[in-house]
Amino acid sequence: MLNQTPLYEAHVALGARMVPFAGWNLPVHFGSLLDEHHAVRRQAGMFDVCHMRAVDISGTDATAFLRRVLANDVQKLCVPGKALYSCLLREDGGVLDDLIVYFLAADTFRLVVNAGTAVKDIAWLQEQATHFAVQVVPRHDLGMIAVQGPAARELVLSLLPESIQEPVAQLQPFFALAEAEWFVARTGYTGEDGFEILLDQTMLPSFWQQLLEAGVQPCGLGARDTLRLEAGMNLYGQDMDEQVSPLSSGLAWTVDLRDPLRRFIGRDALEVEQAAGESAQFVGLVLAGKGVLRQHQPLFANDQPVGEVTSGGFAPTLQRSIALARIVPGVSGPLCVGIRKKRIPVTQVRLPFVRHGQVKVAL
């Protein structure tokens, strides 16, 4: 049986097309994926992301615990509200999940993990926590709405309690404010500015309705995927998973090796991979001809297989087919993709494709 978010009835009332996703019944679109995509790039759109799970970490060993289980170093989070992107790794360097961690106060942090891995993540964190004076508390009482786009901040601010409007307006990117029942983070998954708002599930339907009345476009999973692809953002289960390290997934920047005494889980394997020069290249691709780039399509250089597409699709902002791809180290020169027994040229580009509404690649 699929889980329903607190916003399920609101979605049905708007005529959303609902689909199964990671054990949840979620909207794929509210009538037009393209309209929703463009609304986020040009104005403001909102997403029901209640399927993602907040997990609170607290206790005298909270910092030491997170320095052990995360590849990035929470020691950087010296200011309350500051956020950090990181991965949970296996001992062999494979990615268990990617997540955001927020520093709330001394010895208190909040993680937001992916829906499809939440149960596994929480069990794994609780297992690791047995060696530390720390509590791992899944926040099943909370749900989240993401509001993204150039007008998102202005529209959200107008709907917040007056007491937090000014401090939220002053938030820098990758910071959050936790005040009473409100948790507002200036983070997102679209390449646009905006907020992710965590609230008690009972408060979400009325806040969704206020956003709707303010003119924010409801958006589904379809637009969420095209937006994140244009922004060059990884999707767990496609661009990385337990079989692939962050060094081969374009996520080396999320791994902090500077402190040799911080022996986080997976560090030894990453150091071996790094020393051997075995990490794959993670690149952006733009299709030169007709067709659509899709996951698992093979890539070739000089008629030799050199990798595959990890995520691909049509990019509404670029009006082209684009992809994220993993290719063997050292490959240079022209690439082709195999589509229906044909080999079509692709152009390798630096990520992201789009950021803050602006195309960042040459077409």
Scored b (16 or more CB within 10 A) or e, 293-308 reads bebebebbbeeeebbb
Model confidence at 152, pLDDT cuts 50, 70, 90, reads very high
User: What does pLDDT average to over the chain?
Assistant: 97
Confidence bin at 73 (pLDDT 50/70/90): very high
- Average pLDDT, integer, range 58-64: 98
The matching CATH number, chosen from 3.30.2320.50, 1.20.200.10, 3.30.1360.120, 3.40.1050.10, for 1-278 is 3.30.1360.120
Q: What is the pLDDT at residue 363?
A: 84
pLDDT of residue 146: 98
What are 207's two structure tokens? 């806040």
Provide mean pLDDT across the span 40-55.
Answer: 98
pLDDT confidence band for 198 (50 / 70 / 90): very high
Ranges of each domain in the chain: 1-278, 280-363
Q: Which phi-psi region, left, alpha or beta, contains residue 135 (left: φ > 0; alpha: ψ -120 to 50)?
A: beta
Asked whether residue 130 carries a pLDDT value surpassing 90, the answer given is yes
Average pLDDT over residues 283-294: 94
- CB 227 within 8 Å of CB 315: no
Terminal C-alpha separation, the chain: 45
Mean pLDDT to the nearest integer, 51-80: 97
Can you give the pLDDT at residue 289?
Answer: 84
Please report which confidence band the pLDDT of residue 89 belongs to, taking 50, 70 and 90 as the band edges. very high
pLDDT value of position 1: 87
Is 337 strand, coil or helix? strand
Supply the pLDDT for residue 242: 98
H-assigned helices in the chain: 8-13, 33-42, 62-69, 118-128, 152-157, 162-169, 204-213, 221-230, 267-276
The tokens describing 16, both together, are: 């959303």
Q: Is the confidence at residue 195, as pLDDT, over 90?
A: yes
280-363 has the same fold as 1-278: no
**Statement: residue 332 has pLDDT above 90:** no
pTM here is: 0.97
pLDDT at res. 101: 98
Q: Kindly report whether the peptide bond that precedes residue 352 is cis, defined as omega within 30 degrees of 0.
A: yes
Of the options 3.30.390.50, 2.40.30.110, 3.30.70.260, 3.60.20.10, the CATH number for the domain spanning 280-363: 2.40.30.110
Could you tell me what percent of the chain has a pLDDT over 70? Answer: 100
Query: Would you call 105 exposed, middle or buried from its count of C-beta atoms within 10 A (0-12, 13-18, 19+)?
Result: exposed
* pLDDT computed for residue 282 by the predictor: 97
- Is the pLDDT at 333 greater than 90? The verdict is no
